[in-house]
Chains A and B, each alone.
Chain A
């Protein structure tokens, strides 16, 4: 598995949000850090083909994907846990999980097994499988969104600010699970919470105002004074 962004620029109408960003995610887990409005979500939407590129290319496993449609890219093995979760509120937990697999041939065939795996990561989803997604708490909805993304049997799991709006104990619990998950699957996540994510990712990029301003392995970032001052409050 290898996701490669080569010098991409993109934005909305005349507004350019990302300006010549290059980034590589291969085996192992990678983080993208930056303040609100830096362009993290925009970058993920560009990978999924939801925001057209003004410049540059995106490759997934050597194949160019920036000209493809979103559903094709998802079916090729990139699953995203959106920042806003984007669940199906009037479907039950189980139906949300099933719909995560049903539209992808490879995932549909393995649905029963993947469901067991998801339930083993998040036992709460099994307990609540008959409950409507829209009636669950923020933390449970985030877990359901992760579960739904896993149901697609992706090669790469992307999480857009998974800690957003969750209380610290739940964030901690979620990252514990991601740490188990990353042994099985490549993870790319965006975050503002570096304290939690630096124990999950091997490598990280710092994005500010649409530019990558710093990159390095997790230890390097954790010890970089620029990073500790801006993101760890030290």
Chain B
């Protein structure tokens, strides 16, 4: 508990300091940072859900979002729909895709050593991106949607307003998940399974079907994100990989099972990346910020543990 408070405290403090510095020096970088944080958090939250309850690190996470983006793209092209309308069938299809992936692959690795689970989901990631490569070629695809270019100007800073939608999605995801886990019977059962799958069996919970539904829900969330993703970004078969890495690192920073911290760590990451990029010639340095932060947080956690901070 105290360790958590310390982590939250330093995250909030860090964000506060960065906000003040950027507000004075480079307000646009602050806005981009917050928008980027929303995108990161919205993609990382489903992974945090799966890791917290199913205890599986899904290395095909970003690829599943990529699949969803291609699905939305195909639906839009085939039926002339807006991506935000195509989002609904995409989410539904992804729910069942997740269910099938879990039932026929991941389920069999649940009791296997962690390395085998990683190899399995890494293999899935390759199958998905290579599959898309075969089906759709490596040519980038993009939808042109007019509302994404809306912008606003405050003082002498102008910025895209549409990008705040990612932050909104992240907040809705987080609130929805918290309500689901605290208030619904299925959600509470999922919490129990996450804390102690053996204990969950003793109270009459069907553990495997709980895992399946949680994985399917996370996949549907990736479906929604895939649709939002293609409204703004171009997609290609390997676009997901970076998001797998970032999501994994954000979830590791947040601590397993800690969903609100995912949003905070995304803010830390998004704002600092954006701050570094706003320095002339800094663009190439932003991955360094990313990995530096991860290492700092993980070192801090291990230090706090060995120092006996509980």
- Most A-side CB within 10 Å, residue of B185, B202, B205: B202
Smallest CB-CB A-B distances: 5 pairs: A86-B199, A74-B204, A103-B204, A88-B195, A71-B206
Taking a contact as CB atoms under 8 Å apart, the answer to whether B199 and A75 are in contact is no
The answer on a CB contact under 8 Å between B189 and A102 is yes
Q: Is residue A65 contacting chain B, with contact meaning CB distance below 8 A? A: no
A16 to B128, CA, bound (A): 44
9 more CB-based (< 8 A) A-B contacts, given A74-B203, A82-B198: A71-B205, A71-B207, A82-B202, A86-B198, A88-B191, A91-B191, A99-B192, A99-B203, A152-B203
Q: What 0/1 readout, one digit per residue, does chain B (192-222) give for beta carbons within 8 Å of chain A?
A: 1001101101111111000000000000000
User: How far, in angstroms, from A95 to B189 measured CA to CA in the complex?
Assistant: 11
User: Could you tell me if A88 and B204 are in contact, using CB atoms closer than 8 angstroms?
Assistant: no
CA distance A93 to B93 in the complex (A): 39
Check A88 against B189 for contact (C-beta < 8 Å).
Answer: no
Tell me, yes or no, whether B305 is within 8 Å of chain A by CB. Answer: no
Using CB atoms and an 8 Å cutoff, list the residues of chain B in contact with chain A.
185, 188-189, 191-192, 195-196, 198-199, 201-207
Q: Verify A148–B203 contact, CB threshold 8 A.
A: yes
Task: Give A74 to B204 CA distance when docked, in angstroms.
Answer: 5
Q: Is the CB of A90 within 8 A of B195?
A: yes
Would you call B192 and A91 a contact (CB within 8 A)? Answer: yes
Q: Which residues of A contact B (CB under 8 A)?
A: 48, 50, 69-71, 74-75, 79-80, 82, 86-91, 95, 98-100, 102-104, 148-149, 152
Residues of chain A lying within 8 A (CB to CB) of residue B207:
71
Closest B residue, CB atoms, query A89? B195
Contact A152 B206 (CB under 8 A): no
Determine how close the nearest CB of chain B comes to the CB of A25; give it in whole angstroms: 18
Interchain CB contact under 8 A, A103 and B189: yes
Residues of chain B with a CB closer than 8 A to A99's CB: 188-189, 192, 203
Across the interface, B196 reaches (CB within 8 A) one of A71, A74, A89, A103, namely A89
Q: Which of A50, A79, A91, A98 contacts B195 (CB 8 A)?
A: A91
Q: Which of B199, B205, B206 contacts A87 (CB 8 A)?
A: B199
Question: Which of chain A's residues have a CB closer than 8 A to the CB of B205?
Answer: 71, 103
Q: Within 8 Å CB of A80, what residues of B?
A: 202
